[in-house]
Amino acid sequence: FQFAPPRSSSSILTRFPEEVGQTFLHPQLLSSSCTVRSKIIAIQSTIGNGENYNDFDDDEGMLTNEIQPIIGNNWMKRSSSIDFMPAELTNSNSGSDDESIYMDVGINGNTFGTADLSRRMHEAMMTVATKSYPGGNVPQELRDVYLLYAMDATAKEAVKVAMDSNGYALNLGKDEAMQDEGAWGQIDNVVLLDPTSGQPTKGDDGSNVYNSFVEAISKGGWEPGEGYSFIVREVPARKKAMDLEALLRALDPDGTLWDEAKKQGILLPGEEIDSLKQLAMDCEQRVKSAPFEATDEAKVFRGGSSKGYNVISRSALRKSNRNTDGSENETTLLHVMDSLANHGCLIVDLTDGDASTYDATIMSEMWDTTASFFDLAMNDETMRNSIPPMQQAEGVGSSHAMVGFASFKDGDNQFLETRIRRSDGALLPSETSTIVGEDGAKILADAFHVMAEVGKDIVRIATAASSVDVNAFVVKGSSFVMSQEEEGSPSIAGLSFDEASVSGFVDEESGPCKEDMNRGKVLASNAALLLTDEIIDDGKPLLTNEINRNEGPVSMSPHRMCRYSNSNKSTNKKEVISEIFGAHTDTSFVTIVPAAKVSGLEVFDEDSLQWYRPELNARKHAKTLDPKGNMDGLFPWHSRYLIVMPGELLQLTSRNNIPAAVHRVVASVESPRLSAPVLLRARPGTQMNVERYLGSLDKADSLLLECNEMKMEEIHDALQQSSKS
Ligand SMILES: O=C(O)CCC(=O)C(=O)O
Ligand SMILES: [Fe+2]
């Protein structure tokens, strides 16, 4: 926690600047009823004499926390002892936002412009006072008060700015007495500064240093307009939730970092992702900033109390669970959005809490098939040789449609990439069925469809929610015209909105009414449904002839059988758990990872800013649902659950409401992990038609406008950054 004193003149504290004084006029300054604390407590002086002053920029001495603070440097550190506070209050390390702490602060009067600020403060007070006394004769007593006040309040303002720029706030609370001069901290040492050189100078009585403002004035003869440096101790402070923009400004006053960040494609506060290139670069940036280290099951984050960590029932996602008017169910929508936007994944219970076993049984059979595939691939030479290596799927013409087997990291990573052939639903590479049998191949395809359908439902909900969010389908008066049409009223049907308004059916003055808004929700959901049916590649032929397409014979959405192990060949032999499939985002709408028996998928949780292992959360849910494992005979616990992560294409259609999940796989030396994710991608040949799927172009952001009328495979390619695997 502790702030080390600044090590050089380029530290944050010495950089901020000019702003001092702009908001200095505390309302109390202009009232003469303020109470003067009779004596400012002088606590032990920490400096001996003026000899130290030439050492201001000495880095050496500033490296430890125990060195004597020197007046004239800007620094800040947590107060070491507060004699009048109970220990538990001074040493709390809970890190909560409103935690009250005490800080010792050293302020350089030159950096903070104490000369100018005190002059202006004093002038302001005297101007008011002169007006309120006959003949401008301000009593001496009051002049003394103003003098002290100018010095003290200036110091307080400087400390406020110093804290502000470092993520802290003065925490004076509502206590009036605390607002008074001297009461906000213990003034320790005060050093007067020469008006011309800005160097420390002796006061009238020849002293180098004073123990209080009262002394600096009465003995040193300080006057407003003369600068001074000081140390103040035990200033009540609290950690502030820091505004990113303010932080950046404080760190980077001349904009060098900003320019550099722009060059690297880092999104800056207040900036939006406004192109595919920017989206790809931002994902890459988020991937890079996720920590590399891995921890084992016992320590890793397994979800918190927010709704988004909860498991959702399969049936809640279906379009049949929408409201009767066809708008999305609000409870489901909020759950889905919280999970995807804040925690990087949504856990789905395929059994609806044991109500249905159909899908979970398919998943269970898929797990058996996957296990037997790797069994044979690892142990049976003939079988292994019969699997084709990873290669482009024939006849697709997309470099992204691969099928086949690949092994990396000395066999620690093994993948079988499979795809459905659209015409007959067969699984490619066709050799898969030689290994797992016709039934096995069929089970894999069935499991693919179970997962794809869940994915499509989630994309529908998230896309609809994001369209509703910007009123993309809200048209004033639409509810009226539409409902009339539906009832088949001959007098209205066929009228355009404009004509309706001319005829007086629509009130020109008001905005869209509640019915228009509701209508917008229905249209948003229907359009999102259309998007999932037409654009998402579920391995089936397109059902409609309404759109142009050239969808190709093989699905763009792969179903990957993976085996991850950790033979600990990494450089650090002591690692028992480590990244085996590094952090990345997927170019998919969603990636559906069926919860594996051995946990290992980690999602970077944007809310808690740590790696989250959803499989452990799913396991906990299974334990609660079925503590005795009664269903284990039917299917293993994990075949109930799917973990659905948003990909880059959903980031696009959700208008950046949902960032593509940064995720990775970790593996421990103890047990290999089998996995079988589906990456739900876009049907080749289809076009992103913003108006058809996402509503009014007026409500589309520049990212969507760029994609409008692009082919989905072009969008896919544009999202591939060179550094991506
Ligand atoms: O196997 C997993 O659990 C995840 C794999 C993955 O992230 C991917 O294939 O893109
Ligand atoms: Fe992935």
Please write the tens of the pLDDT for every residue from 107-132.
989 888 899 999 998 998 888 888 88
The rounded Å distance from CA 644 to ligand 2 centre is: 11
Say yes or no to pLDDT of 508 above 60.
no
Q: In the prediction, which pLDDT does 661 show? A: 97
Please tell me the distance from the alpha carbon of residue 658 to that of residue 650, in angstroms, as a whole number. 7
Q: Which ligand is closest to the CA of 406, given by its number?
A: 1
Pocket flag, ligand 1, residue 677 (CB < 6 Å): yes
**Residue 17: band (very low, low, confident or very high) from pLDDT cuts 50, 70, 90:** very low
Q: Which ligand is closest to the CA of 562, given by its number?
A: 1
**How far from 103 is each of 15, 74, 147, 288, CA to CA, in Å?**
20, 13, 26, 35
- Please state the rounded mean pLDDT for residues 229-243: 82
Least confident of 84-98, 539-553, 619-633, 650-664: 84-98
The rounded Å distance from CA 277 to ligand 2 centre is: 19
Nearest CA to ligand 1 atom 5: 677
Least confident of 16-30, 58-72, 91-105, 330-344: 16-30
Q: Which ligand is closest to the CA of 660, given by its number?
A: 2
Nearest CA to ligand 1 atom 8: 677
Q: Which ligand is closest to the CA of 665, given by its number?
A: 1
Q: Which ligand is closest to the CA of 601, given by its number?
A: 1
Q: In the prediction, which pLDDT does 429 show? A: 94
**Residue 245: band (very low, low, confident or very high) from pLDDT cuts 50, 70, 90:** low
* Other beta carbons less than 10 A from residue 715's beta carbon: 20
Please tell me the distance from the alpha carbon of residue 309 to that of residue 347, in angstroms, as a whole number. 8
Pocket flag, ligand 1, residue 583 (CB < 6 Å): no
Dump pLDDT digits (tens) for 320-351. Answer: 999 999 999 999 999 999 999 999 999 999 99
Mutate to test the pocket of ligand 1, among 591, 641, 649, 719 (most ligand atoms within 8 A of CB): 591
Nearest atom in ligand 1 to 675's CA:
1
Dump pLDDT digits (tens) for 417-461. Answer: 999 999 899 999 999 999 999 999 999 999 999 999 999 999 999
The rounded Å distance from CA 662 to ligand 1 centre is: 11
Say yes or no to pLDDT of 584 above 80.
yes
Whole-prediction pTM: 0.67
Pocket flag, ligand 1, residue 601 (CB < 6 Å): yes
Q: What is the DSSP letter of 594?
A: E
Q: In the prediction, which pLDDT does 608 show? A: 86
Nearest atom in ligand 1 to 663's CA:
7
Q: In the prediction, which pLDDT does 544 show? A: 83
Pocket flag, ligand 1, residue 672 (CB < 6 Å): no
Q: In the prediction, which pLDDT does 637 show? A: 95
Dump pLDDT digits (tens) for 546-582. Answer: 887 778 889 999 999 999 998 876 555 566 888 999 9
Long-range contacts of 637-640 (CB under 8 A, 24+ apart): 638/367, 638/594, 638/595, 638/596, 638/597, 639/350, 639/360, 639/361, 639/363, 639/364, 639/366, 639/367, 639/594, 639/595, 640/349, 640/350, 640/351, 640/360, 640/363, 640/595
Top-confidence range, 104-118, 380-394, 455-469: 455-469
Q: What angle do CA 416, 417, 420 make, to 5 degrees?
A: 130
Pocket flag, ligand 1, residue 680 (CB < 6 Å): no
The rounded Å distance from CA 581 to ligand 2 centre is: 9
The rounded Å distance from CA 139 to ligand 1 centre is: 79
Nearest atom in ligand 1 to 593's CA:
3
The two beta strands, 186-193 and 228-239, are: antiparallel
φ and ψ at 234, to 5 degrees? 60, 45
Q: Which ligand is closest to the CA of 581, given by its number?
A: 1
Q: What is the DSSP letter of 386?
A: H
Please tell me the distance from the alpha carbon of residue 592 to that of residue 345, in angstroms, as a whole number. 9
Say yes or no to pLDDT of 22 above 50.
no
Least confident of 138-152, 302-316, 607-621: 138-152
Pocket flag, ligand 1, residue 586 (CB < 6 Å): yes
**Residue 181: band (very low, low, confident or very high) from pLDDT cuts 50, 70, 90:** low
Long-range contacts of 202-207 (CB under 8 A, 24+ apart): 202/50
- Please state the rounded mean pLDDT for residues 681-687: 92
Pocket flag, ligand 1, residue 29 (CB < 6 Å): no
Pocket flag, ligand 1, residue 585 (CB < 6 Å): no
Say yes or no to pLDDT of 38 above 80.
no
Q: In the prediction, which pLDDT does 53 show? A: 25
Say yes or no to pLDDT of 497 above 90.
no
Please tell me the distance from the alpha carbon of residue 465 to that of residue 680, in angstroms, as a whole number. 19
- Tokens, residue 184: 């906000």
- The sign of the dihedral angle between the CA atoms of 649, 652, 657, 661 is positive
**Residue 465: band (very low, low, confident or very high) from pLDDT cuts 50, 70, 90:** very high
CATH top-level class for 276-470+541-718? mainly beta
Pocket flag, ligand 1, residue 528 (CB < 6 Å): no
Q: In the prediction, which pLDDT does 599 show? A: 96
Pocket flag, ligand 1, residue 663 (CB < 6 Å): yes
- Please state the rounded mean pLDDT for residues 478-504: 48
Closest CA to 349 of 364, 360, 338, 365: 360
Mutate to test the pocket of ligand 1, among 287, 562, 666 (most ligand atoms within 8 A of CB): 562
Dump pLDDT digits (tens) for 212-226. Answer: 999 999 999 999 999
* Other beta carbons less than 10 A from residue 391's beta carbon: 13
Pocket flag, ligand 1, residue 540 (CB < 6 Å): no
**Residue 532: band (very low, low, confident or very high) from pLDDT cuts 50, 70, 90:** very high
**How far from 276 is each of 191, 279, 283, 319, 715, CA to CA, in Å?**
57, 5, 11, 30, 8
Pocket flag, ligand 1, residue 538 (CB < 6 Å): no
Please tell me the distance from the alpha carbon of residue 682 to that of residue 455, in angstroms, as a whole number. 12
Q: In the prediction, which pLDDT does 611 show? A: 96
Q: In the prediction, which pLDDT does 28 show? A: 25
Please tell me the distance from the alpha carbon of residue 702 to that of residue 708, in angstroms, as a whole number. 10
Largest CA distance in the chain: 110
- Please state the rounded mean pLDDT for residues 199-214: 93
- Tokens, residue 360: 């979970």
Model ipTM over 0.90: yes
- Please state the rounded mean pLDDT for residues 674-700: 96
Pocket flag, ligand 1, residue 659 (CB < 6 Å): no
Residue % of the chain over a pLDDT of 70: 77
**Residue 40: band (very low, low, confident or very high) from pLDDT cuts 50, 70, 90:** very low
Pocket flag, ligand 1, residue 593 (CB < 6 Å): yes
Nearest CA to ligand 1 atom 10: 586
Sequence-ordered list of residues with C-beta below 8 angstroms from that of 593, at least 6 positions apart, any chain: 601, 642, 643, 644, 645, 675, 676, 677
**At 38, which amino acid appears?**
S
Pocket flag, ligand 1, residue 660 (CB < 6 Å): no
DSSP string covering 285-303: HHHHHS------TTTSB--
Kindly report the average pLDDT of the chain as a whole number: 80
Domain ranges within the chain, ordered by starting residue: 12-240, 276-470+541-718
The rounded Å distance from CA 708 to ligand 2 centre is: 26
Say yes or no to pLDDT of 493 above 80.
no
- Please state the rounded mean pLDDT for residues 90-118: 73
Pocket flag, ligand 1, residue 675 (CB < 6 Å): yes
Please tell me the distance from the alpha carbon of residue 561 to that of residue 718, in angstroms, as a whole number. 27
Q: In the prediction, which pLDDT does 570 show? A: 55
Dump pLDDT digits (tens) for 46-84. Answer: 222 222 222 222 233 232 233 335 677 788 877 765 544
Q: Please give, one letter per residue, the 3-state secondary structure of 315-335.
A: HHHCHHHCCCCCCCCHHHHHH
The rounded Å distance from CA 355 to ligand 2 centre is: 31
Nearest CA to ligand 1 atom 7: 664
- Tokens, residue 144: 């003394």
Q: In the prediction, which pLDDT does 179 show? A: 60
- Please state the rounded mean pLDDT for residues 5-30: 25
